[in-house]
Amino acid sequence: MQYAILAVEADADYEARTDPALADSYWASWASYVAALGQSGVMTAAAGLQPPQTATTLRTRGGATSVQDGPFADAKEHLGGIFLIDVPDLDAAMEWAARCPAAVNGSVEVRPILPPMG
């Protein structure tokens, strides 16, 4: 079954990305996680995301479209990456989610993927 692992990172994680004292450790933990996913053969796709300050949010209400620079919500945690995995069941997906570096300071959401449309 296919699942999405949504890595939700805390502000401290985003700061660690570029902090000279923390960046090596931060990126090493992600490299190790991605390597393990890849070597296991369960990962079907993955993408890391730029910091929330780079986001653009679009809304269409009543036929009018508005665009806002920055993330939708003013929050202390933001989506930092997405991993698509193919594993036997939710328990297996949760095992991979528990290993995700985002679980340490942020959170990790696991969702089943909808079947293809059509």
Q: Indicate which CATH number applies to the domain containing 46.
A: 3.30.70.1060
CA 99 – CA 94 distance, rounded (Å): 9
Would residue 78 count as lying in a domain? Answer: yes
Would residue 25 count as lying in a domain? Answer: yes
Please give the structure tokens belonging to residue 82: 């997405």
CA 99 – CA 103 distance, rounded (Å): 7
Q: Quote the pLDDT of residue 69.
A: 85
Share of the chain above pLDDT 90, in %: 79
Would residue 63 count as lying in a domain? Answer: yes
- Domain boundaries, position 66: 2-112
Q: Quote the pLDDT of residue 52.
A: 87
pLDDT tens digit string along 5-35?
999 999 899 999 999 999 999 999 999 999 9
Q: Which helix (H) or strand (E) holds 11?
A: helix 11-16
Q: Quote the pLDDT of residue 57.
A: 87
Provide the CB-side half-sphere exposure for 38 (13 A, CA): 7
Would residue 117 count as lying in a domain? Answer: no
Would residue 55 count as lying in a domain? Answer: yes
pLDDT tens digit string along 49-105?
999 889 898 899 999 999 988 766 667 888 999 999 999 999 999 999 999 999 999
Domain count, the chain: 1
Would residue 118 count as lying in a domain? Answer: no
